[in-house]
Amino acid sequence: MKALKETMENLLALKTEGYMVTNLYLRLGVEERSDRKYLRTFKDLVKIQREYLEKRGLEEGVLRGVERDFERMESFLSEPENLKGCRGIALFSCSPKGFFEFLKLPYTYRNRLLVSPDPLIREIASLDEELGRVGLLLLDRKHVRFFLLDLEGMREVADFVEPLATRAHKFHSGGSMLKGAEGTMRFSMPSRVGGPNMVQHSFGEYRFHMRIREEKHRLFKIACDALMEAWKENKFDRLVIGSDREDIKEIENHLHTYLMERLVGYIQASPSYVDAEELKEKVFNLLLEKGKEEEEKLLKELEELEGKGLAVRGTSRVLEQLHMGNVRLLLVPLDFHKPGYVCEKSHLPLLKPECPMEEKAYEVPDVVDEVLEFALEEKARVKTIVSEELQKRVDGLACFMRFAL
């Protein structure tokens, strides 16, 4: 797989010379992978797109090129090896120019198949900005590792073992030899005195448990200090902590305020057994869960802003604001679809074939896909509403506005 930068440069450098580019964004979550549902989804998208392509009046050679794009994409998606290690994928094909590129993504907004004069890469740029750079701290009893994760991939920044976090053996009564990395220490303990049926608690046990607590907080302190230094050198936007320790949340007592503000949550992981793809999957799952929690907050905020004239619901009203460049955040229900039109030159999405300028409008199977693309062009943020219950409350499309009218 090519690096993100190289792929984006190839997409930006593509000269279609009158031909069309077929763009596909496909969701590849757990549900979509079940029984290869994503392949049926793609075939359905192709079937619908074929019907509408005939109405666009494209030249025969251009249509043949698009058909070859569909075949090449289906061949690519039919090979499971091509889809490993991602929750979404973007494909770009222009067969007459011998062009085919793909990018594995942590997620996509929705399933979209669009045929356009140029590659539609704004969603990739938006996802890169949303994901940002994620810091991943892994630790166990004495081992600490730190990774940076972004759309480009994952790389390791730090890997060390805290030398004093060693425990040679358990406590002993009546005196003990506790051997650690700092040397050998002998503790004199009073002898155990008591009746034969009396349970005695030794000082060795107390010192042993205190030693465990002390080494735990020492490790947390060292890990957080190293994390702070890593943040100074490699600014990251979010922090995820992975460990098998049951007491891992106590590390928050040592985290700097800057790091606490970036802490997203915790995952089950060990620094000694690292599988890059498995780690990325766990981090993306955590981020998606946090994204679902955000949905309810956004719906509440939508209701509040509607009363202030800073938000609207309904597809036609959202389109009005979008045409004025007044959309700050676009809320798109995952399962909402609506046929519509697009102006050929200005690419304005419409519900009726009535372009504001004197230009031709062509029919599209789902104007929501075009609305999403146009919103990204206007530098608006896009949020997909996944919850079925919350989708009903949105009533088509909804948006937060930049200014009240």
pLDDT at position 219 is 86
Cα(311)–Cα(110) distance, integer angstroms: 22
Domain-terminating residue out of 110, 131, 152 = 131
Residue 326 structure tokens:
């007044």
Looking at the fold, whether 124 and 136 belong to one and the same domain comes out as: no
Cα(22)–Cα(67) distance, integer angstroms: 9
Query: Three-class SS of residue 189?
Result: coil
Looking at the fold, whether 262 and 335 belong to one and the same domain comes out as: no
CATH classification at residue 254: 3.30.420.60
Residue 279 lies in a domain: no
Structural domain of residue 209, as residue ranges? 132-191+199-274
Looking at the fold, whether 145 and 261 belong to one and the same domain comes out as: yes
Largest CA distance in the chain: 103
397 C-beta neighbours (distance < 10 Å), count: 27
Residue 238 lies in a domain: yes
Looking at the fold, whether 259 and 166 belong to one and the same domain comes out as: yes
CATH classification at residue 322: 3.30.1330.30
Cα(241)–Cα(268) distance, integer angstroms: 9
Please tell me the pTM assigned to this model. 0.82
Cα(308)–Cα(299) distance, integer angstroms: 15
Of 101, 97, 44, 105, give the one whose Cα is nearest residue 76: 101
- What would the DSSP string read from start to end of 74-134? HHHHT-GGGGTT-SEEEEEEEGGGTEEEEEEES--SS-EEEEESS---HHHHHHHHHH--E
Looking at the fold, whether 100 and 211 belong to one and the same domain comes out as: no
Looking at the fold, whether 262 and 186 belong to one and the same domain comes out as: yes
> Please, how many CA atoms are within 13 Å of residue 62, restricted to the half-sphere of its CB?
17
pLDDT at position 46 is 96
Domain-terminating residue out of 80, 100, 131 = 131
pLDDT at position 73 is 97
Looking at the fold, whether 251 and 154 belong to one and the same domain comes out as: yes
Looking at the fold, whether 38 and 117 belong to one and the same domain comes out as: yes
Q: How many domains does the chain have?
A: 3
pLDDT at position 210 is 60
Cα(194)–Cα(61) distance, integer angstroms: 98
Cα(289)–Cα(297) distance, integer angstroms: 14
Alpha helices, H only, 197-275: 203-233, 257-262
Looking at the fold, whether 321 and 404 belong to one and the same domain comes out as: yes
Total number of residues shown for the chain: 405
Residue 287 lies in a domain: no
Digits of tens for pLDDT over the chain (405 positions)?
A: 578 889 999 999 999 888 999 999 999 988 999 999 999 999 999 999 999 998 888 899 999 999 999 999 999 999 999 998 889 999 999 999 999 999 999 999 999 999 999 999 999 999 999 999 999 999 988 888 999 999 888 899 988 776 554 444 443 333 333 333 333 333 333 444 444 544 444 445 656 556 667 777 888 888 899 899 988 988 899 999 999 988 899 999 999 999 999 999 999 998 888 888 889 889 988 998 888 888 999 999 999 999 999 999 999 999 999 999 999 999 999 999 999 999 988 889 999 999 988 889 999 999 999 999 999 999 999 999 998 889 988 889 999 999 998
Residue 285 lies in a domain: no
Looking at the fold, whether 125 and 142 belong to one and the same domain comes out as: no
Which are the contacts of 401, defined by CB distance < 8 A and separation ≥ 6? 305, 309, 310, 311, 312, 321, 326, 327, 328
Looking at the fold, whether 15 and 119 belong to one and the same domain comes out as: yes
Residue 203 lies in a domain: yes
Residue 254 lies in a domain: yes
- 223, 137 contact by CB (below 8 A): yes
Looking at the fold, whether 333 and 304 belong to one and the same domain comes out as: yes
- What would the DSSP string read from start to end of 235-251? --SEEEEE-S-TTGGGG
Residue 280 lies in a domain: no
Residue 284 lies in a domain: no
